[in-house]
């Protein structure tokens, strides 16, 4: 069944409707927009959808804010600091707008959704406020704003997935592309604002996902990352599929979707993010092992190591349950890279809860973690139910202990790789030197190695032997 399905999709993808070229020649547009993105990968991916919508409405993308007629900030609300960063950036745009009064300024994304028209009152320079499900209305809203009215659309949708829109790849390295497979989140973790700013979870049409990945591959891309707040709950039932595939008979789960994308070509690496410990299935783990080109790397946020805190966070698993999941991953995919998100100082967290987090980190042996101290967000369940009662100094100290432990774990994990050889996808020059390449292993570790006169280029796969490491990077040589 899978083969019939994938073949069908690949055929369709080849003949598929023409995709908008990436960034078109800016000279052909008389109006220009400039966009900055903050926060998660999903926001960066959304900005590429916005760019496509605007390009079709006659706006060309520019990387130079001075020549823009429209400036957009695609914003994040996940922590207070993320919002403060955007506010600071707005004060800089205030100066630019004073010098160029016709300039339109728009706020997109989670802050737009959270604050709605309040943003217009608080930030007078803002002309447009557009939530994550309302990007199709951007051209109309821009027209309204051009006519001197403030324009707002923050309607959330149960259906919108922008499935038919081919993203304009902004700031891409031409090797690695992000593909959104679903939107929203139904999980209601009590600390999290995302269910409120991005709405209900919905899965994008599987056929359009495969078509977009095929298109990237045809353009020379060698890696796609499938994006969603909770990819394991991806679930697509085609309402309007081809009759030969049947209507309700083909249900695409995340495991099946991964397989469909992996089959595009063995030369296309497939990554995905983010997995929820409660939803990742053995099926997914088995598919990862079955395909060489599905990267052996899982981002599996734990948030806390204390079962009591996990319950207050509404994560719906316990410490023991999470440990069993880690065991299962190590059993099925022995060479798997695992990373996590961790929050220090959630409401009522005791010293013992904190110790539980440290010991679970150690148990899991994370290669990498994204670590934060708890930031109370207005409107979330935690804000309504619990007191944010861990003093800031304690939150910061605990976070530092978490960071220190992760640094040690990362270093240990990197040390274990010394002497091993990995297949590496070259992503470009290393940050520090044009004499060196930077790439990634399947396990998502960054590796830097000398070009040393070899005829390789960006997008090639090379075998690299690890000779040394820091806590963040592997160093190696081509063999």
| Residue 377 is a binding residue for ligand SF4 (CB under 6 A) | no
* DSSP structure class, residue 33: E
Residue 227 binding ligand SF4, by CB under 6 A: no
Out of 187, 233, 306, 340, the residue judged to bind ligand SF4 by CB under 6 A = 187
| Interface with ligand 5AD (CB under 6 A) | 78-79, 191-192, 301, 303, 341, 343, 372, 374-375, 377
- Please report the DSSP string for 39-64 in residue order: SSHHHHHHHHHHHHHHHHTTEEE-S-
Task: Name which of 29 and 372 has its Cβ closer to ligand 5AD.
Answer: 372
Closest contact distance (angstroms) between CB of 229 and ligand 5AD is 9
Instruction: Assess 185 for contact with ligand SF4 (CB under 6 A).
Output: yes
| Least distance in angstroms from the C-beta of 194 to ligand 5AD | 7
Q: Which of residues 11-30 bind ligand SF4 (CB under 6 A)?
A: none
Closest CB to ligand 5AD among 72 and 343?
343
In the window 256-295, what residues touch ligand SF4 (CB under 6 A)?
276
Q: Is 189 in the site for ligand SF4 (CB under 6 A)?
A: yes
Rounded to whole angstroms, the Cα distance separating 137 from 50 reads: 10
Residue 229 site contact among ligand 5AD, ligand SF4, none (CB < 5 to 8 Å, cut-off depends on kind) = ligand SF4
- Reduced to 3 states (helix: H, G, I; strand: E, B; else coil), residue 103 is coil
In which order are the strands placed within the sheet that holds 223-227? 176-180, 223-227, 269-273
Residue 97 binding: pick among ligand 5AD, ligand SF4, none (C-beta 5-8 Å cut-off by kind): none
End-to-end CA distance of the chain: 41
Applying CB under 6 A, the span of 19-27, 167-175, 180-188, 421-429 interacting with ligand SF4 comes to 180-188
Indicate whether 229 belongs to the interface with ligand SF4 (CB under 6 A): yes
- Radius of gyration of the chain from Cα atoms? 23
Residue closer to ligand SF4, measured from CB, 315 or 445: 315
Q: How far is the CB of 128 from ligand SF4 (least distance, A)?
A: 25
Torsion of CA 240, 245, 251, 253, to 10 degrees: -110
Closest of 286, 180, 265, 276 to residue 225, by C-alpha: 180
Q: Nearer to ligand SF4 by C-beta: 233 or 441? A: 233
SS3 252: strand
What residues have CB less than 8 Å from 279, skipping those under 6 apart?
230, 232, 233
**Separation of alpha carbons 31 and 69, rounded Å:** 6
HSE on the CB side for 294, CA within 13 Å?
A: 24
Rule CB under 6 A: which residues touch ligand SF4?
185, 187-189, 192, 194-195, 229-230, 276
């Amino acid at each position: 069944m899978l083969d019939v399905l994938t073949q069908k999709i690949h055929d369709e993808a080849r003949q598929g409707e023409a995709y908008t070229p990436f960034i078109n020649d800016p000279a052909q547009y008389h109006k220009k927009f400039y966009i900055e993105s903050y926060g998660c990968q999903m926001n960066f991916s959304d900005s590429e959808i916005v760019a496509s919508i605007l390009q079709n409405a006659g706006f060309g993308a520019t990387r130079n804010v001075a020549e823009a007629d429209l400036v957009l900030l695609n914003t994040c609300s996940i922590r207070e600091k993320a919002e403060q960063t955007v506010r600071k950036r707005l004060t800089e745009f205030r100066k630019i707008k004073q010098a160029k009064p016709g300039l339109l300024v728009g706020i997109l994304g989670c802050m737009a959704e959270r604050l709605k028209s309040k943003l217009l009152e608080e930030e007078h320079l803002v002309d447009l406020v557009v939530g994550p499900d309302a990007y199709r209305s951007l051209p109309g809203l821009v027209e309204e704003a051009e006519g001197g009215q403030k324009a707002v659309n923050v309607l959330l949708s149960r259906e919108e997935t922008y499935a038919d829109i081919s993203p304009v790849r902004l700031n891409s390295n031409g090797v690695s592309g992000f593909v959104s497979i679903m939107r929203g989140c139904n999980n209601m973790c009590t600390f999290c604002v995302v269910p409120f700013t991005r709405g209900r979870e919905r899965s994008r049409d599987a056929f359009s996902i495969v078509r977009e990945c095929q298109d990237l591959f045809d353009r020379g891309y060698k890696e796609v990352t499938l994006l969603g707040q909770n990819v394991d709950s991806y679930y697509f039932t085609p309402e309007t599929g081809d009759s030969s595939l049947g209507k309700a008979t083909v249900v695409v789960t995340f495991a099946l979707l991964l397989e469909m994308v992996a089959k595009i070509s063995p030369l296309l690496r497939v990554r995905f993010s983010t997995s929820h410990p409660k939803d990742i299935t053995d099926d997914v783990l088995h598919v990862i092992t079955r395909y060489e080109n599905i990267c052996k790397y899982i981002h599996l946020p734990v948030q806390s190591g204390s079962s009591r805190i996990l319950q207050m966070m509404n994560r719906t698993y316990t410490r023991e349950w999470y440990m069993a999941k880690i065991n299962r991953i190590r059993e099925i995919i022995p060479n798997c890279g695992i990373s996590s998100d961790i929050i220090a100082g959630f409401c009522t967290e005791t010293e013992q809860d904190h110790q539980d987090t440290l010991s679970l980190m150690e148990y899991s042996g994370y290669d990498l973690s994204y670590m934060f101290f708890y930031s109370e967000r207005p409107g979330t369940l935690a804000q309504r139910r619990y007191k944010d009662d861990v003093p800031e100094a304690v939150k910061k100290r605990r976070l530092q202990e978490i960071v220190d432990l992760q640094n040690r774990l990362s270093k240990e994990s990197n040390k274990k790789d010394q002497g091993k050889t990995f297949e590496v996808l070259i992503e470009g020059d290393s940050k520090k030197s044009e004499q060196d390449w930077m790439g990634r292993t399947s396990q998502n570790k960054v590796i830097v190695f000398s070009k040393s006169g070899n005829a390789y280029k960006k997008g090639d796969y090379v075998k690299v032997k690890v000779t040394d490491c820091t806590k963040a990077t592997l160093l190696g040589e081509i063999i």
